[in-house]
Amino acid sequence: MIENDCFGFIGFDTISKPNKYTEIDMQLLQVFAEMLSSIKLRNKQQQELIEAKDRALESDRLKSSFLANMSHELRTPLNGILGFSELMISMAKDQEFQEMASMINTSGKRLHRTLDMILDISRIEANKQVIKKQCFDLFEQLRQAVKLYYPLVQAKGLAINITKNEPYFPVCTDLDILDRIVDELIYNAIKCTEKGSITISTERLNKDNVPYFAIHVTDTGSGIPPEKINILFDAFRQVSEGLDRSHEGSGLGLALCRKYAELLGGWIGVASQFGQGSTFTLTIPEMQEDSIVVLEADSHSHISKIPEQLAAAKILLVDDDVIGNKMIRSMLKKQVQLDISRNGIDGMARLQSNDYDLLLLDINLQDSYSGLDMIKDIRKDPKLCNLPVVAITAYAMIGDRERFLDSGFTDYLSKPLSQSLLIQKITTQLASRMAE
């Protein structure tokens, strides 16, 4: 028997002469039957485990494929929304139209933010987040983070400031992850504050002979009811929920902050008085300085226009997205000579018949000749093998950048594009080519 099911029987017959089976004989037969049942049950359980593992792997594969596809399909239209609205803000002379463009840009950034948070949580849960040790001045990073929110702060009539009790605040941790946490805490404080101010302060701590640093983000907003504190860092939960919720958001931001803080070996907490504001505190341990990557200042980080000495450069853009192509042409208008091709075969033919200084290449092209096929042929061609090629793509999942660089691309830029970052990448590659 296996549980309540009978899967067979065994019998022993005496043929030549009558035999009386003893109690011990019967017990031995019973033990033998149970051994067969155990073997059968173990084989059944092993098969079920194999099938369950296969289903789990297939589920993970489908989930990863779905997230990658959704990321690509959302980033492509966001490229046009954010890119053109950024151009409209800078070009519009009428204040009303400028405000409309700013609203479009803000809405697009909100959608982009939600997409990134969903992908980030999936990345952490899959244990695919890589920690990079870096040393930097915390005050400077906080200043950069606050700077991004000046328009929103001014629009709400708020004040935001950083309290500094020393000239510099050097720390060592993962800069990208810290930026994401701080960005979310600042955004959350502004979102929940209708009047008053947001104050950011820092301090150094020591716990069990381990150095830590803490960042406090204090707002004069609505505060948090005591009964809601416990759910604040749960995914998809918010202080106000349902049809009458008072604040926008997906309910992922603070949950992601907690996961990132734990990833860095730290924690995040909140102290709040309902109706009077809140203070969120992020506490992170200092990373040891061995194997730390020290950041170097990017000389092109503030470039808003391609330098005149590079204006004669010829650039080819190969991308099947009509809206994206028009946007890039507008971003680079009169700065360089830009040719555009909408498929890889035509793009390759143009490279063969013209001398280009740089290629901007999409990955997913309409024809069967993809960007990966094209870069492979470029690196094999003696005439084109040294041509700088920047991947401009909506593939922005973890590992995509490394995969494309390993395939032969010189640099990588994920959609949606910003004008400043596009110009920075182009300037860097052109300057490097001219220096050869």
**pLDDT tens readout for residues 226-253:** 877 777 777 544 544 443 444 444 457 7
Q: What are phi and psi of 62, to 5 degrees?
A: -65, -40
What residues form DSSP beta bridges with 215?
202, 282
For the chain, helix, strand, coil in percent to 5 are: 45, 15, 35
List all residues 6 or more positions away from 109 whose beta carbon is below 8 Å from its beta carbon: 82
Nearest to 418 by CA among 81, 145, 94, 73: 81
pLDDT value of residue 128 = 59
Q: Which residue has the higher pLDDT, 15 or 343?
A: 343
- Residue type, position 264, single letter: L
pLDDT value of residue 436 = 66
Cβ 72 vs Cβ 395: under 8 Å: yes
Q: What are phi and psi of 268, to 5 degrees?
A: -135, 140
List all residues 6 or more positions away from 158 whose beta carbon is below 8 Å from its beta carbon: 190, 193, 195, 196, 197, 198
- Residue type, position 149, single letter: Y
pLDDT range class, residue 410, cuts 50, 70, 90 = very high
List all residues 6 or more positions away from 57 whose beta carbon is below 8 Å from its beta carbon: none
Mean pLDDT of 17-28: 86
Give the highest mean pLDDT range of 253-262, 302-311, 320-329: 320-329
Q: Which residue has the higher pLDDT, 173 or 73?
A: 173
pLDDT value of residue 93 = 83
CB atoms within 10 A of CB 52: 10
d(CA 253, CA 260) in angstroms, rounded, equals 11
Whether 125 has a pLDDT exceeding 70, the answer reads no
- For residues 289-302, one letter each, b for 16 or more C-beta atoms within 10 angstroms of the residue's C-beta and e for the rest, the string is eeeeeeeeeeeeee
Whether 286 has a pLDDT exceeding 60, the answer reads yes
d(CA 36, CA 8) in angstroms, rounded, equals 10
Mean pLDDT of 371-391: 93
Could you tell me the strand order of the sheet in which 210-219 lies? 159-162, 197-207, 210-219, 277-285, 267-273
Output the CA angle 215-220-222, nearest 5 degrees.
Answer: 115
Strands 267-273 and 337-341, by their bridges, are unpaired
User: What's 77's DSSP letter?
Assistant: H
For 220, what's the count of Cα atoms within 13 Å in the CB-facing half-sphere? 11
Whether 296 has a pLDDT exceeding 60, the answer reads no
Strands 389-393 and 358-361, by their bridges, are parallel
pLDDT value of residue 303 = 56
pLDDT range class, residue 304, cuts 50, 70, 90 = low
Mean pLDDT of 106-129: 70
d(CA 308, CA 82) in angstroms, rounded, equals 27
Domains delineated in the chain: 134-291 (3.30.565.10), 308-435 (3.40.50.2300)
d(CA 264, CA 176) in angstroms, rounded, equals 11
Quote the mean pLDDT of the chain: 83
Cβ 30 vs Cβ 10: under 8 Å: no
d(CA 375, CA 397) in angstroms, rounded, equals 20
pLDDT value of residue 298 = 42
pLDDT range class, residue 376, cuts 50, 70, 90 = very high
Cα maximum dimension of the chain: 113
Whether 76 has a pLDDT exceeding 70, the answer reads yes
pLDDT range class, residue 124, cuts 50, 70, 90 = low
d(CA 56, CA 86) in angstroms, rounded, equals 43
**Strand ranges (E), 208-274:** 210-219, 267-273
Q: Which residue has the higher pLDDT, 221 or 59?
A: 221
Mean pLDDT of 408-427: 90
Centroid of chain to Cα 283: 22
Nearest to 270 by CA among 323, 224, 322, 315: 224
Nearest to 354 by CA among 388, 314, 317: 314
- What pTM was estimated for this model as a whole? 0.59
Cβ 177 vs Cβ 265: under 8 Å: no
Q: Is 426 helix (H, G, I), strand (E, B) or coil?
A: helix
Lowest pLDDT segment from 85-89, 103-107, 348-352: 103-107
Nearest to 218 by CA among 174, 285, 282, 167: 282
- Residue type, position 421, single letter: L
Q: Which residue has the higher pLDDT, 372 or 86?
A: 372
Mean pLDDT of 199-205: 93
What residues form DSSP beta bridges with 137?
170
pLDDT range class, residue 121, cuts 50, 70, 90 = low
Q: For the chain, first and last CA: distance in Å?
A: 79
Q: Which residue has the higher pLDDT, 395 or 239?
A: 395
Asked, as a colleague might, if the bond just before 416 is cis with ω within 30 of 0, I would say: yes
